[in-house]
Amino acid sequence: MRCRIKATNDLWFEVDAESEDDLFKQISRVQEVFSHSNCGKCSSPNVKFVCRHDSSENDWLEVVCKDCRAKVIFGRTKKGGLIYPKIRWDQLSEKQQEQRINEKAYADNNRGYLPDKGWFIYKPNAAK
Ligand SMILES: [Zn+2]
């Protein structure tokens, strides 16, 4: 079974699946991981995929808004190395939770989901 999946206006995927089950999973991956056509903060369509490296050679995946500088960050599953956008409070690392403590009240009231679909403007000292 071949299928074309539209993620955004600029991004299409072609997948080839053996079964409906496999096709379903591939579509869900494309939609979860790559369907970021608008900034969650300001709704601009001006977003780009970015891979950053820090001083310890870790790489960071994020989708960044070129207009308001908000971003949504990605995590990796321990098993299988899949990536996923961090859109829930419990997906943030301890350090990220500290930096984004002002989003906790929203998450507590919204079944754990972060405001603005996980998009935020990075402030190293947001806690105060
Ligand atoms: Zn924006």
Query: Could you tell me the pLDDT band of residue 78, with boundaries at 50, 70 and 90?
Result: confident
User: Is residue 127 in some structural domain?
Assistant: no
- What average pLDDT is seen over the chain? 93
Q: Are residues 54 and 100 in the same domain?
A: yes
- What pairs with residue 51 in β-bridges? 61
Distance CA 21, CA 23 (A): 5
Q: Are residues 65 and 108 in the same domain?
A: yes
Q: Ligand 1 mean position to 83 CA, how many Å?
A: 22
Q: Ligand 1 mean position to 10 CA, how many Å?
A: 18
Q: Are residues 23 and 59 in the same domain?
A: no
Structure tokens at 11: 């991004």
pLDDT per position as a tens digit, 14-41: 999 999 999 999 999 999 999 999 999 9
Q: Ligand 1 mean position to 72 CA, how many Å?
A: 10
- What pairs with residue 116 in β-bridges? none
Q: Are residues 70 and 106 in the same domain?
A: yes
Q: Ligand 1 mean position to 24 CA, how many Å?
A: 30
Range of the domain at 21: 2-34
Q: Are residues 15 and 65 in the same domain?
A: no
Q: Ligand 1 mean position to 80 CA, how many Å?
A: 31
User: Is residue 40 in some structural domain?
Assistant: no
Under a CB-based contact definition with an 8 Å cutoff, are residues 57 and 45 in contact?
no
Residue 65 has pLDDT above 90, yes or no: yes
Q: Are residues 106 and 66 in the same domain?
A: yes
User: Is residue 123 in some structural domain?
Assistant: no
Distance CA 50, CA 16 (A): 27
Q: Ligand 1 mean position to 26 CA, how many Å?
A: 28
Q: Ligand 1 mean position to 76 CA, how many Å?
A: 24
Q: Ligand 1 mean position to 39 CA, how many Å?
A: 5
User: Is residue 94 in some structural domain?
Assistant: yes
Query: Which one-letter DSSP state was computed for residue 113?
Result: B
Q: Are residues 114 and 62 in the same domain?
A: yes
Mean pLDDT, residues 88-104: 96
CA-based nearest residue to 100, from 79, 80, 74, 128:
128
* Type of residue numbered 3: C
Q: Are residues 28 and 63 in the same domain?
A: no
How many domains does the chain contain in total?
2
Q: Are residues 30 and 52 in the same domain?
A: no
